[in-house]
């Protein structure tokens, strides 16, 4: 049972990490970046190059990879979202464009690095430590802690700082924002940059568990969206709690029901949440675009 | 065939003739293909035709109704497995499996469509993605039924004891495909199709035209699912073996891409898109490892470079492809007469209505009666709550307190479409047209509530259906002529000038044959000539027994056309009476002089 | 505006052009022997296609160097089916009808094979299957032109169970995913166990590509087995071993033996320390021991492959799978050379008369009732942690 909980918490943190970065983009632009899983994958692959091939220290690797993936995220914005202008709600072109970008990222990564997964060094080494009679990796504690820190960071940034107010203003009305002297474009870029950096961190944290490879986020990417929605799109607290709920739900369905239906159950919960309570657990105001 | 029932193709211009010629050559090419092309190529075309059945259906929901679905591969899979299981386990023939697969898929379409009543956009995208994943998992896991990951063998299609050959199957697919296109064409060029497009372009306006959003969204989902089911069943019998890996998420993306590349929301779009994207890869084997990267790039380039798809680009180049011909007769008195009489003499009564937004009272304990067959105007400074009042009358907002009676029936709690059908037509302060429909189609959407035929009659395009369509066509044309914009019928609504758009909105509202017409600042943005024309129109409307409720800032205009004027300030009534009485009311002067005079413009 | 019109016109034009090409018959070059090959070369299973491609390419190069097939130069054409049966059949038909291939090697996925084999029978095309392990695929009555060089699922399952029983293990646990492969294996293993009046300690299952393997490991440990047989795809298996490490349940506390995928170098690398002492299986010819370096020709081939795909590039290669595809192409050559014919029935007869043809992977014998090139008796238990030019070390238990 404690192992089940730890499995759930670790997987949950991973989903939460994905959801947090999905949220930050949602909170300024009102769109969901369907290529986010691939940004995480890029984080992992660049991590591999920087840390394993070049031999940079892990922390330096995270910072550099964070910068690189942030640039990729901004490029993603310019190539797949900006062309659709301000009125993103009216068109779903960006949805197809981000899906397309995901396909490109994945296949180019495959051409460069090959399709096979590779081992990735965990934070704090691969020694097991025993806590309450359960063997765990130090890495898993780091996953939980870093996810929590990022969630708190976003929560503080969005709720307590001027930057947060500016981001929220951008989300509600770009023209007003412009009048107020805030560059909406810069806000959006800042959010894409942050989201990219968090994706890279996620890549570093996920890779030791899933192994690093072009397909590493295929099965978990969609669940990041699920976590964001269950918690309430745009809410950092929601993303964190939503992720954990999803992780524990999965661990439970794996042992209680048969493992084969695990994904079906997770997505069913996501669909039910959207249908019954689209604002998620944390009551994010859901506005239907008329 | 009586030509007058075929309004959309009466006499053709050069562009349209060219189009028909191309279509004719294409049909001929498809009929002759098996004799010319290699048999493997025939397989590719057969597959493309099956996909085309699905993408044509997907186009109804994603292209016309504007509801994205990334779960179409799931519905396709359900159709395929329904057909396969019935044939393999119960020995049912193809001819029975096909309708069964369509029915089962349709049922799932209904389930999948249910959430659209609450959400749209990316939420819907995620729901449909989730649906696809769930279907795939169940196909893998429910081994006793589906054969699990190893798949299921499907018996061959027999026709009077003969097994259908490769070519036979090609013609079967072609036949079903043409049938699908014909059915879809009939639906799209009916009031059903216009309702779908209206929902896509403007949900608010659509519901104010009497379109029940719930019913039509669900219908669109079910239709698209039924076609997906048919395509799936056909595929199952064609390939003789199906396994879950044929119904993956990437296939759903592919389907959506085909209609985007071809041109979403057009009949021809999916045809071009599907044939192109199924056949093109056959010539791209040399790309080898780079194939999928290029596919991803194509996705991005096509949605950005050609958001309207190939068909959209062609339409832009040759706008005369859409060219409506005048109907046989144009009525010079198109405004429907209202002969209703009410015991109280009032068409609308509002009693003690209060509406709050947050803590703010937008409408405060407001009462008003509108006498039947009069022009009743509402004036007041900006932010007085005028538009809120119209929104309460036609059901966009529900009041927190009070009572609204329309034609002696209680309105509270009814949705806009119910109230519209009950006889309340309206225009909007900010023009709310269906921007991607033509001017004529916009007016025809207004006539939505006058259509009585059901979906089956529509599909068969019976005499009754054609007559009804012709009536609507003629009425719309007559109204546009009456408004003086009948030279614009074939243009897109978005391309009209601001003044013309206002007139179009009124024409659309009149097509609803309303008893009460709610006009929200109809003169805003009109020039002097247009305002004079509008005045005449309003008087004509009144003469036909239709009650007009008018919100307007042009005081002279109001004073000229109104029988009664109500003055609203801060959500409360401050004066009411005949125009000249109100004009001299000291409270009104104060309200206007004190706050409004400066920014009347 | 104009740009868009140009784009759309271009697309329309290209559409027209390719329709014309589609109609025109392609002219096959004279005196060329064409081998068509379809496999999964993209996505998560891309490594399967990579093995196929390398194996066939090495063999074709070799054959052309030694005079081709009956004097004809050999050319191989590869196609990627993305593991989709619908695409696989379309591609095979394209190869047969447009490219006019003489023999077919592949595919790499069982469902794809099920989809295409009836067509190959109808068109009388010789099929050499070098890595698709579904048991049902080889059936001389149903698919008379299909031969297999790779060990199939059932025989791997039989080998693993029999080997375990022969070595005195009593409580046998099995772990596999819920894919076609996994579910098939469960049935095969049950049959073997039944014939020995034994039951499995547990059959633990999971979804292919599952990340969290702890629940599976937990289930395995709680069944208290003395040997665990792993039918797990590469990355899944590595994650499972890591989860087992966490429960402190690895050799020597329990014996663990995996099927072919656990022999991959990349699997060993992913699992890290947890793969120490985990046994795999391999065909005898691709193995060596401390006293026997292996057959000289096989070692030479292994060295050549190692040189072409050194280090990182070769990590996702499985030597005996490459050998298997290599043998496929060589068997095509032998069949055509012996029968002096391009007719499938003649080639089939020639292959069926083969007795102990020495391939890179094993010595093949086929007959009119048996088109399986390998059987459990040709397998041995190996330690894949100790590779020499990609060849595996035999374990003396």
Per-residue pLDDT reduced to its tens digit, C65-110: 998 998 899 999 999 998 889 899 999 999 999 899 999 998 998 8
- Do B245 and B350 fall into the same domain? no
Assigned domain for C175 exists: yes
Assigned domain for C17 exists: no
- Domain end point (choices B203, B222, B252): B252
The span from the CA of C209 to the CA of C182, in Å, is 13
pLDDT score, position C3: 55
Is residue A47 within a helix (H) or strand (E), and if so which, with residue range?
Answer: helix A36-47
* d(CA C178, nearest CA chain B) in Å: 8
Assigned domain for C6 exists: no
Domain that holds residue C76: 32-152+318-375
pLDDT (average), residues A176-196: 80
- Do C215 and C339 fall into the same domain? no
Q: Are A10 and A137 in contact (CB under 8 A)?
A: no
Is residue B85 within a helix (H) or strand (E), and if so which, with residue range?
Answer: helix B72-90
Q: Give the tens place of pLDDT for each residue, B155-188.
A: 988 877 788 888 899 999 999 999 999 999 999 9
pLDDT (average), residues B513-534: 90
Out of A36-45, C41-50, C238-247, C259-268, pick the least confident.
C41-50
Query: Distance of CA B425 to CAs B417, B486, B502, B515, Å?
Result: 10, 21, 14, 8
Look over chain B and give the mean of its residue pLDDT values, rounded to a whole number: 89
- Do C122 and C180 fall into the same domain? no
Confidence of residue B308 (pLDDT cuts 50, 70, 90): confident
**Interface contacts (A, B; CB < 8 Å):** 125
Out of A116-130, B393-407, B432-446, pick the least confident.
A116-130
Q: Where are the alpha helices (DSSP H) in A116-182?
A: 138-160, 162-172, 174-179
- Looking at the predicted structure, is the pLDDT value of residue A43 above 90? yes
pLDDT (average), residues A56-64: 93
How far, in whole angstroms, is CA B445 from its chain's centroid? 9
* d(CA B27, nearest CA chain A) in Å: 31
Assigned domain for C183 exists: yes
Confidence of residue B7 (pLDDT cuts 50, 70, 90): very low
- Give the contacts of B478 (CB within 8 A, at least 6 positions apart): B330, B331, B332, B334
- Give the contacts of B192 (CB within 8 A, at least 6 positions apart): B216, B219, B455, B458
Of residues B247 and B336, more confidence is placed in: B247
Q: Are C149 and C374 in contact (CB under 8 A)?
A: yes
Q: Give the tens place of pLDDT for each residue, C284-323.
A: 999 999 999 999 999 999 999 999 998 778 888 889 899 9
Out of A23-27, B119-123, B585-589, C3-7, pick the least confident.
C3-7
- Do B246 and B359 fall into the same domain? no
- Looking at the predicted structure, is the pLDDT value of residue B601 above 50? no
Confidence of residue A169 (pLDDT cuts 50, 70, 90): confident
Q: Which residues of B touch C (CB under 8 A)?
A: 36-41, 43-44, 47, 140-141, 143, 148-151, 235, 239-243, 245-246, 248, 272, 275-276, 279-280, 282-283, 285, 288-289, 291-292, 305-306, 310, 313-314, 316-317
- Looking at the predicted structure, is the pLDDT value of residue B224 above 70? yes
Q: Give the tens place of pLDDT for each residue, A212-260.
A: 999 899 888 889 999 998 888 888 888 999 999 999 998 888 777 777 7
- Give the contacts of C96 (CB within 8 A, at least 6 positions apart): B40, C36, C104, C119, C120, C123, C125
Q: Which residues of B touch A (CB under 8 A)?
A: 68, 114-115, 118-123, 125-127, 129-131, 133-134, 137-138, 140-141, 203-204, 253, 256-257, 260, 289-290, 292-293, 295-300, 303-304, 307
Confidence of residue C231 (pLDDT cuts 50, 70, 90): very high
- The upper half-sphere exposure of residue B47, i.e. CA atoms within 13 Å in the direction of its Cβ, equals 19
Say whether C276 sits in a helix, a strand or coil: coil
**Among A14, A98, A252, residue whose Cα is nearest residue B126:** A98
- Looking at the predicted structure, is the pLDDT value of residue A144 above 80? yes
The span from the CA of C333 to the CA of C347, in Å, is 10
* d(CA B115, nearest CA chain A) in Å: 5
Q: What dihedral angle (degrees, nearest 10) is formed by the CA atoms of A178, A184, A187, A192?
A: 170
- Do C282 and C322 fall into the same domain? no
- Domain end point (choices B212, B230, B252): B252
Confidence of residue B331 (pLDDT cuts 50, 70, 90): confident
Option in C22, C83, C183 nearest B245 (CB): C83
Place of tokens 């970065």: A21
- Do C348 and C365 fall into the same domain? yes
Confidence of residue A70 (pLDDT cuts 50, 70, 90): very high
Assigned domain for B355 exists: yes
Contact assignment for C313 to A114 by CB distance below 8 Å = yes
In eight-state DSSP terms, residue A34 is T
Using CB atoms within 10 A of its CB, is residue B21 exposed (0-12), middle (13-18) or buried (19+)? Answer: exposed
Query: Distance of CA A62 to CAs A19, A43, A47, A52, Å?
Result: 19, 8, 7, 12
Looking at the 3D structure of chain C, how many domains does it have? 2
Q: Are B127 and A275 in contact (CB under 8 A)?
A: yes
- Do C114 and C62 fall into the same domain? yes
Q: What dihedral angle (degrees, nearest 10) is formed by the CA atoms of C39, C42, C45, C48?
A: 40
What domains are defined for chain A? 2-127+135-276 (1.10.3470.10)
- Do C197 and C132 fall into the same domain? no
pLDDT score, position B60: 96
Q: What dihedral angle (degrees, nearest 10) is formed by the CA atoms of B402, B408, B412, B413?
A: 170
Using CB atoms within 10 A of its CB, is residue B537 exposed (0-12), middle (13-18) or buried (19+)? Answer: buried
The span from the CA of B34 to the CA of B45, in Å, is 10
pLDDT score, position C1: 45
- The upper half-sphere exposure of residue B239, i.e. CA atoms within 13 Å in the direction of its Cβ, equals 31
User: In this structure, is the dihedral angle defined by the CA atoms of residues C294, C298, C300 and C306, taken in order, positive or negative?
Assistant: negative
pLDDT score, position B371: 92
End-to-end CA distance of chain B: 56
Assigned domain for B555 exists: yes
End-to-end CA distance of chain C: 75
How far, in whole angstroms, is CA C104 from its chain's centroid? 15
- Looking at the predicted structure, is the pLDDT value of residue C27 above 50? no
Using CB atoms within 10 A of its CB, is residue A124 exposed (0-12), middle (13-18) or buried (19+)? Answer: middle
pLDDT (average), residues C270-283: 92
The span from the CA of C56 to the CA of C74, in Å, is 11
Option in B37, B243, B246 nearest C23 (CB): B37
End-to-end CA distance of chain A: 48
pLDDT score, position C26: 44
- Do C104 and C118 fall into the same domain? yes
- Give the contacts of B360 (CB within 8 A, at least 6 positions apart): none
Query: Distance of CA B442 to CAs B195, B330, B493, B529, Å?
Result: 10, 18, 7, 24
Assigned domain for B569 exists: yes
Of residues B331 and C18, more confidence is placed in: B331
- Do B102 and B227 fall into the same domain? yes
- Give the contacts of C5 (CB within 8 A, at least 6 positions apart): B313, B316, B317
Q: What b/e string do you get for B169-206 counting C-beta neighbours within 10 Å, with b at 16 or more?
A: bbbbbbebbeebbebbebbbbbbbbbbbbbbbbbbebb
- Do B412 and B558 fall into the same domain? yes
- Do C256 and C388 fall into the same domain? yes
The span from the CA of B136 to the CA of B244, in Å, is 6
**Among C1, A117, C42, C316, residue whose Cα is nearest residue B313:** C1
- Domain end point (choices B219, B252, B285): B252
Q: Are C224 and C252 in contact (CB under 8 A)?
A: no
- The partner residues of A55 in beta bridges, in order of sequence, read none
- Do C142 and C267 fall into the same domain? no
- Give the contacts of B221 (CB within 8 A, at least 6 positions apart): B61, B67, B69, B109, B110, B112, B113, B116
Assigned domain for C255 exists: yes
- Do B400 and B539 fall into the same domain? yes
Write out the two tokens for B325: 């011909």
Instruction: Look up the ipTM and state it.
Output: 0.89
**Among A144, A138, A121, A114, residue whose Cα is nearest residue A12:** A144
Contact assignment for A278 to B125 by CB distance below 8 Å = no
Place of tokens 């729901």: B127
Assigned domain for C27 exists: no
Using CB atoms within 10 A of its CB, is residue C251 exposed (0-12), middle (13-18) or buried (19+)? Answer: middle
Contact assignment for A275 to B115 by CB distance below 8 Å = yes
CATH number at residue B367: 3.40.50.300
pLDDT (average), residues A34-52: 95
Residues of B in contact with C93 (CB under 8 A): 39-40, 43
Look over chain A and give the mean of its residue pLDDT values, rounded to a whole number: 86
- Beta strands B241-242 and B152-153 are antiparallel
pLDDT score, position C14: 55
Q: Where are the alpha helices (DSSP H) in B318-462?
A: 386-393, 416-421, 439-446, 455-460
> What is the chain B residue with the closest CA to A258?
B141
Assigned domain for B384 exists: yes
- Beta strands B162-163 and B241-242 are unpaired
The span from the CA of B423 to the CA of B516, in Å, is 6
Looking at the 3D structure of chain B, how many domains does it have? 2
The span from the CA of C287 to the CA of C282, in Å, is 7
- Do C269 and C323 fall into the same domain? no
Confidence of residue A176 (pLDDT cuts 50, 70, 90): low
The span from the CA of A106 to the CA of B296, in Å, is 10
pLDDT score, position C108: 93
- Do C237 and C105 fall into the same domain? no
Confidence of residue C118 (pLDDT cuts 50, 70, 90): very high
Domain that holds residue B520: 346-599
**Among A249, A227, A247, residue whose Cα is nearest residue A237:** A227
CATH number at residue C77: 3.40.50.2300
Confidence of residue A290 (pLDDT cuts 50, 70, 90): very low
Contact assignment for C85 to B245 by CB distance below 8 Å = yes
């Amino acid at each position: 049972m404690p192992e089940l909980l730890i499995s759930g918490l670790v997987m949950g943190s991973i989903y939460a990490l994905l959801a947090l970065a999905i949220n930050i983009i949602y909170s300024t632009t009102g769109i969901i970046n369907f290529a986010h899983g691939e940004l995480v994958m890029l984080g992992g692959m660049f991590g591999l190059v920087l840390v394993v091939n070049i031999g940079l220290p892990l922390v330096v690797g995270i910072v550099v990879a964070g910068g690189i993936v942030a640039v990729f995220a901004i490029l993603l914005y310019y190539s797949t979202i900006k062309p659709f202008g301000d009125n993103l709600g009216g068109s779903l072109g960006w949805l197809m464009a981000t899906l397309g970008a995901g396909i490109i990222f994945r296949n180019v990564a495959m051409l460069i690095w090959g399709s096979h997964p590779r081992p990735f060094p965990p934070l704090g080494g691969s020694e097991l430590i025993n806590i309450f009679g359960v063997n765990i990796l130090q890495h898993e504690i780091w996953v939980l802690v870093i996810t929590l820190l990022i969630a708190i960071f976003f929560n503080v940034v969005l709720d307590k700082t001027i930057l947060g107010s500016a981001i929220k203003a951008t989300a509600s009305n770009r023209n007003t924002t412009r009048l107020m002297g805030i560059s909406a474009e810069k806000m959006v870029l800042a959010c894409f940059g942050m989201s990219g950096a968090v994706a890279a961190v996620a890549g570093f944290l996920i890779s030791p568990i899933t192994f690093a490879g072009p397909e590493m986020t295929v099965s978990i990417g969609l669940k990041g969206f699920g976590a964001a929605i269950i918690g309430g799109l745009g809410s950092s607290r929601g993303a964190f709690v939503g992720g954990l709920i999803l992780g524990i739900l999965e661990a439970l369905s794996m042992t209680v029901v048969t493992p084969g239906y695990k994904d079906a159950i997770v997505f069913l919960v996501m669909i039910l949440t959207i249908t019954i309570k689209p604002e998620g657990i944390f009551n994010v105001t859901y506005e239907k675009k008329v | 065939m009586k030509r007058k029932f075929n309004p959309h193709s009466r006499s053709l211009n050069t562009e349209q003739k060219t189009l028909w010629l191309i279509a004719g050559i294409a049909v001929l090419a498809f009929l002759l293909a098996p004799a010319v092309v290699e048999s493997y190529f025939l397989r590719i075309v057969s597959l493309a035709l099956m996909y085309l059945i699905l993408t044509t259906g997907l186009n109804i929901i994603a292209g016309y109704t504007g509801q994205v679905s990334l779960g179409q591969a799931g519905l396709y899979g359900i159709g395929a497995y329904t057909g396969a299981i019935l044939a393999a386990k119960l020995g049912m023939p193809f001819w029975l499996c096909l309708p069964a697969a369509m029915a089962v898929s349709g049922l799932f379409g209904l389930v999948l469509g249910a959430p659209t009543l609450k959400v749209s956009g990316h939420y819907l995208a995620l729901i449909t993605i989730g649906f696809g994943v769930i279907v795939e998992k169940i196909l893998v896991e429910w081994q006793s039924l589906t054969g699990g990951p190893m798949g299921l063998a499907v018996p061959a299609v027999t026709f009077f004891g003969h097994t259908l050959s490769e070519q036979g199957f090609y013609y079967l697919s072609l036949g079903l495909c043409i049938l699908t296109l014909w059915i879809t064409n009939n639906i799209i060029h009916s009031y059903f199709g216009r309702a779908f497009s209206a929902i896509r372009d403007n949900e608010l306006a659509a519901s104010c035209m009497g379109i029940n959003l719930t019913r039509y969204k669900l219908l669109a989902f079910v239709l698209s699912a039924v076609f997906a089911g048919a395509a799936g069943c056909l595929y199952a019998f064609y390939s003789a073996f199906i396994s879950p890996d044929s119904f993956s998420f990437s296939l759903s993306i592919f389907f959506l891409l085909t209609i985007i590349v071809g041109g979403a929301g057009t009949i021809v779009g999916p045809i071009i898109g599907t044939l192109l994207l199924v056949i093109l890869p056959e010539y791209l084997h040399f790309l080898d490892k780079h194939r999928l990267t290029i596919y991803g790039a194509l996705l991005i380039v096509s949605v950005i470079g050609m958001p309207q798809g190939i068909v959209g680009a062609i339409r832009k180049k040759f706008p005369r492809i859409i060219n409506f011909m005048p109907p046989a007769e144009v009525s010079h008195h198109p405004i429907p007469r209202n002969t209703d009489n009410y015991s109280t003499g009032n068409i609308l009564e509002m009693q003690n209505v209060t509406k709050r937004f947050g803590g703010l009272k937008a409408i405060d304990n407001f009462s008003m009666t509108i006498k039947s067959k009069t022009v009743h105007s509402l004036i007041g400074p900006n932010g007085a709550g005028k538009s809120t009042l119209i929104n309460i009358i036609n059901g966009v907002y529900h009041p927190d307190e009070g009572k609204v009676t329309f034609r002696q029936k209680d309105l509270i709690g009814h949705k806009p479409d119910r109230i519209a059908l009950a006889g309340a037509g309206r225009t909007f302060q900010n023009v709310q047209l269906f921007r991607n429909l033509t001017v004529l189609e916009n007016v025809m959407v207004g006539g939505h509530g006058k259509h009585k035929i059901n979906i089956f009659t529509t599909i068969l395009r019976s005499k009754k259906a054609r007559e009804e369509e012709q009536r609507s066509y003629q009425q719309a044309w007559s109204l546009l002529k009456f408004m003086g914009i009948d030279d614009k019928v074939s243009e897109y609504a978005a391309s009209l000038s601001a003044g013309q758009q206002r007139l179009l909105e009124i024409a659309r509202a009149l097509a609803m044959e309303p008893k009460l017409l709610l006009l929200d600042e109809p003169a805003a943005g009109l020039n002097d000539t247009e305002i004079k024309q509008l005045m005449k129109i309003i008087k004509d409307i009144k003469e036909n027994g239709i009650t007009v409720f008018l919100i307007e800032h042009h005081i002279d205009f109001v004073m000229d056309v109104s029988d009664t004027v109500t003055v609203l300030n801060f959500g409360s009534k401050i004066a009411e009476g005949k125009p000249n009485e109100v004009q001299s009311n000291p409270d009104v002067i104060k309200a206007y002089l004190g706050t409004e005079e400066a920014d009347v413009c | 505006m104009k740009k868009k019109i140009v784009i759309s016109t271009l697309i329309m034009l290209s559409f027209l052009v390719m329709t014309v090409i589609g109609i025109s018959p392609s002219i096959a070059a004279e005196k060329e022997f064409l081998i068509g090959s379809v496999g999964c070369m993209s996505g998560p299973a891309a490594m399967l296609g990579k093995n196929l491609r390398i194996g066939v390419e090495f063999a074709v190069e070799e054959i052309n160097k030694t005079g081709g097939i009956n004097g004809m130069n050999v050319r191989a054409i590869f196609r990627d089916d993305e593991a989709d049966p619908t695409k696989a059949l379309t591609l095979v038909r394209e190869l047969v009808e447009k490219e006019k291939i003489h023999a077919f090697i592949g595919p790499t996925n069982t469902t794809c094979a099920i989809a295409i084999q009836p067509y190959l029978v109808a068109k009388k095309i010789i099929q050499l299957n070098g890595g698709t392990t579904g048991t049902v695929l080889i059936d001389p009555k149903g698919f008379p032109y299909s031969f297999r060089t790779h060990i199939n699922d059932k025989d791997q399952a039989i080998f693993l169970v029999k080997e375990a029983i022969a070595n005195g293990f009593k409580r046998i646990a099995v772990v596999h995913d819920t894919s076609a492969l996994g579910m098939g294996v469960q049935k095969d293993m049950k049959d073997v166990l039944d014939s020995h009046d034994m039951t499995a300690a547990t059959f633990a299952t999971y979804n292919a590509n599952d990340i969290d393997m702890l629940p599976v490991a937990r289930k395995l440990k709680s069944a208290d087995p003395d040997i665990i047989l792993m039918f797990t795809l590469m990355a899944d298996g590595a994650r499972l071993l890591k989860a087992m490490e966490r429960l402190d349940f690895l050799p020597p506390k329990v014996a663990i033996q995996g099927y072919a995928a656990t022999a991959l170098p990349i699997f060993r690398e992913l699992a890290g320390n947890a793969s120490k002492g985990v046994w795999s299986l391999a065909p005898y010819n691709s193995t060596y021991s401390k006293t026997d370096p292996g057959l000289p020709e096989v070692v030479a081939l292994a060295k050549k492959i190692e040189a072409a795909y050194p280090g990182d590039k070769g990590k996702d290669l499985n030597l005996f799978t490459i050998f298997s595809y290599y043998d496929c192409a060589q068997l095509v050559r032998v069949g055509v050379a012996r029968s002096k014919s391009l007719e499938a029935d003649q080639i089939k007869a020639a292959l069926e008369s083969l007795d102990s043809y020495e391939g890179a992977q094993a010595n093949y014998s086929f007959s009119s009732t048996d088109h399986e090139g390998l059987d459990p008796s040709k397998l041995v238990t190996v330690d894949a942690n100790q590779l020499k030019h990609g060849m595996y070390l035999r374990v003396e238990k």
